[in-house]
């Protein structure tokens, strides 16, 4: 049980929380295991609570009626997901699945979140800080989709990937990258070659390596 406690302690959500409350939270928190591709939750269903990744990667995504997929977030260890569902007591705003086998995730039930939120004003302020980050990131995603071409979006993704291990590893395939930056695996292939020609990257089937970050940043218009 030490793991839960350590993890929950390090989550910004519960920063500055009293020891008794932390014990209460850890007691109510459940560990779940998922195999590769297994559904964690479905869009539109009542939210169970706040999820925290312990091991592996999780993708949070939207589907349209034709089965096309758009990945909103890729979450690795220490990251939380479905914050909104847990906070407003509504339905899940998206779907989530495990990206590899042996994915471990903690579930803090909504009631626990709500209780702590009303009991401890500091937690509410933490949540506001986190939601602000979330809003800025979503606005950034909208900006990318609306204002920049595939090559710019891919360059930006590669730069983010270099800084965030959640964006690499098993399950983060060309298909997944495509579903995240709103294009197709084939177009990713094409654009990777274009980026290689500029001297910004090198790549093979398994790895994409940034060889000249300056060039990549300029392509990313950053």
Partner DNA sequence: TAGCTTCTGTGACATTTGTCACTCTGTTCC
Partner DNA sequence: GGAACAGAGTGACAAATGTCACAGAAGCTA
215 binds, among DNA, a copy of itself, none (CB under 5 to 8 A by kind): none
CB of 119 to DNA, least distance (A): 43
What's the closest the beta carbon of residue 181 comes to DNA, in angstroms? Answer: 9
12 binds a copy of itself (CB under 8 A): no
Choose which of 53, 72, 127, 151 interacts with DNA (CB under 7 A).
151
Between residues 29 and 82, which has the closer beta carbon with respect to a copy of itself? Answer: 82
Q: Does 4 bind DNA (CB under 7 A)?
A: no
Residues contacting a copy of itself: total by CB under 8 A: 38
User: Residues 108, 113, 116, CA angle at the centre, nearest 5°?
Assistant: 125
Sign of CA dihedral 84, 63, 106, 27: positive
Tell me, what DSSP letter sits at residue 182? T
Q: Does 161 bind DNA (CB under 7 A)?
A: no
Beta bridge partners of 59: 74, 97
Q: How far is the CB of 38 from a copy of itself (least distance, A)?
A: 23
Q: How far apart are CA 183 and CA 70, in angstroms?
A: 9
Which helix (H) or strand (E) element contains residue 216?
helix 213-219
How does DSSP classify residue 199? Answer: T
CA dihedral over 200, 193, 162, 207, signed as positive or negative: negative
**Hey, how many other C-beta atoms are within 10 angstroms of the C-beta on 41?**
22
55 near a copy of itself, rule: CB under 8 A: no
- Give me 200's structure tokens: 């910004």
Compare residues 50 and 179 and give the one whose CB is closer to DNA.
179
187 to 216, contacts with DNA by CB under 7 A? 187-190, 192-193, 203-206
- Residue 58 tokens, joined: 């999780």
Output 24 or 148, the one with its CB closest to a copy of itself: 148
CA distances from 13 to 82, 108, 185 (A): 13, 12, 36
> Binding-site residue total for DNA (CB under 7 A)?
21
CA distance 111 to 87: 9
Taking CB under 7 A as the binding criterion, the range among 4-12, 84-92, 144-152, 161-169 that sits at the site for DNA is 144-152
Q: Given the rule CB under 7 A, which residues bind DNA?
A: 149-151, 173-175, 182-190, 192-193, 203-206
Q: Given the rule CB under 8 A, which residues bind a copy of itself?
A: 62-65, 68, 70, 72, 84, 87-88, 90, 93-94, 117-118, 121, 124-125, 127-129, 131-136, 138-139, 141-143, 145-148, 182, 221
């Amino acid at each position: 049980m030490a793991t839960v406690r350590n993890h929950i302690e390090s989550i910004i959500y519960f920063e500055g929380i009293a020891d008794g409350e932390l014990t209460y939270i850890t007691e109510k928190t459940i560990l779940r295991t998922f195999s590769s591709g297994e559904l964690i939750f479905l869009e539109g269903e009542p939210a169970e609570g706040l999820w925290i990744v312990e091991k592996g990667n999780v993708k949070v995504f939207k589907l349209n009626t034709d089965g096309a997929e758009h990945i909103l977030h890729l979450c690795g260890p220490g990251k939380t997901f479905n914050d909104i569902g847990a906070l407003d007591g509504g339905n899940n705003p998206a779907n989530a699945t495990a990206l590899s086998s042996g994915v471990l995730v903690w579930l803090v039930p909504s009631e626990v979140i709500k209780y702590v939120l009303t009991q401890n004003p500091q937690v509410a302020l933490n949540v506001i800080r986190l939601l602000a980050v979330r809003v800025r990131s979503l606005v950034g995603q909208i900006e990318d989709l609306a204002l920049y071409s595939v090559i710019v979006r891919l360059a930006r993704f590669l730069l983010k990937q270099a800084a965030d291990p959640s964006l690499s590893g098993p399950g983060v395939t060309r298909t997944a990258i495509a579903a995240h930056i709103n294009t197709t695996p084939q177009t990713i292939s094409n654009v990777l070659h274009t980026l290689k020609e500029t001297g910004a990257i090198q790549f093979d089937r398994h790895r994409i390596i940034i060889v000249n970050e300056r060039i990549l940043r300029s392509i990313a218009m950053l």
